[in-house]
Amino acid sequence: MKIGTQVANALATKTTVGLESTILAHGFLRPKNLELAIAIEKEVLSHAATPSTISVVEGEATIDCGETYLRKICMEDFAKTNIADLAVYMGRKRNAATTVSATLEIGAAAGLTWFATGGLGGVHRDDGGDVSSDFHALATKPCAIVCSGIKSFLDIERSIERLETLGICVVGYQCDKFPLFYSRESEFGLEHTASTLSEVVEIARAQRKLMRSLVILNPVPHKFSIEKREVEHLLASIESSATGKGKSPFILKKLGEHHNLVTANFNLAINNAKLASELAVFESEMYLR
């Protein structure tokens, strides 16, 4: 594994914020993806945390920061890898962007504890049995990840049930409904809500001992939230013939044609990096220095 110097130094005080690279390589078009990558790093650094983006570069699991590295992920060809085929890209010495699952796998091995993303994978709506490997990683790695829910084109209800089955702890941060990624709320109420950083940190520390992950739900900021009806209307118009790993990128690409959705996705990702940074620094100051 290759760990950049700044990330390695921050690991000593646990002020790293692990970031996935699939959102960059496959979730946004060029050059918007690089703009997002740079904005996220700036946000994390402004909280005295260290951005730690994970990917596979020429077969090597890599955790690093800085514009040269981000530009490579955003502008060169990076495949999409999850835990199931990480070994293929490593074995063949290829470049690959890591989904949340592969990001947690590599990040946890390096000792990272706090992560941020836009939306998690989950259970798809059709009956094809497609369940993101993100859930497997969350069930087996002791990480804490801030997100705005799961991608809106998934089956929210079945995803919530599956999270529970797998022992993945879910807590809403200052919200009491499961957020819908582009929209602040769904009709699904949350059993557990935390209103302060300290509460989240305590729950994360307890869940870490159970060797499973904590999902911290942080809804899209008010001013970027989009009506659920509007998102559903757009989704209904998308005919997806893609299957497997290509399915999410296909739908995301279609949704990416809508400016307000891209803006929501962009800003929620930054907002999640902000909260993850605050949590990492809070825990570090309370317990780890």
Interacting residues with Mn ion between 75 and 134 (CB under 5 A): 130
Based on the number of CB atoms within 10 Å of its own CB, is 56 exposed (0-12), middle (13-18) or buried (19 or more)?
buried
Residue indicated by tokens 């013939």:
241
Distance CA(98)–CA(89), nearest Å, equals: 10
DSSP H helical segments within 96-192, as ranges?
100-110, 134-140, 156-165
For the chain, the residue count is 289
Binding partner selected for residue 225 from ligand PSU, Mn ion, none, CB under the kind-specific 5 to 8 Å limit: none
Closest residue to Mn ion in the complex (CB): 130
- Asked about 232 being catalytic, the answer comes back as no
Interacting residues with ligand PSU between 66 and 105 (CB under 6 A): 82, 99-100
Active-site residue among 14, 80, 141, 151? 151
Contacts of 245 (CB under 8 A, 6+ apart): 80, 82
Nearer to ligand PSU, 16 or 81 (CB): 81
8 Å CB contact between 110 and 103: no
Residue indicated by tokens 């949704």:
255
How near is the Cβ of 138 to Mn ion at its closest, in Å? Answer: 14
Contacts of 27 (CB under 8 A, 6+ apart): 33, 118, 249, 252, 265
How near is the Cβ of 4 to ligand PSU at its closest, in Å? Answer: 21
How near is the Cβ of 155 to Mn ion at its closest, in Å? Answer: 12
Among residues 3, 23, 83, 220, which is the contact residue for ligand PSU, using CB under 6 A?
A: 23
- Asked about 209 being catalytic, the answer comes back as no
Nearer to ligand PSU, 20 or 278 (CB): 20
Nearer to Mn ion, 51 or 119 (CB): 119
Among residues 4, 18, 107, 119, which is the contact residue for ligand PSU, using CB under 6 A?
A: 119
How near is the Cβ of 82 to Mn ion at its closest, in Å? Answer: 8
Contacts of 193 (CB under 8 A, 6+ apart): 171, 172, 173, 174, 175, 176
How near is the Cβ of 175 to Mn ion at its closest, in Å? Answer: 26
Phi first, then psi, for residue 150 (nearest 5°) are -105, 165
Applying CB under 6 A, which residues contact ligand PSU?
Answer: 20, 22-23, 26-27, 82, 99-100, 118-119, 121, 132-134, 151, 245, 248, 252, 265
* Binding-site ranges for Mn ion (CB under 5 A): 130
Residues belonging to the active site: 20, 151
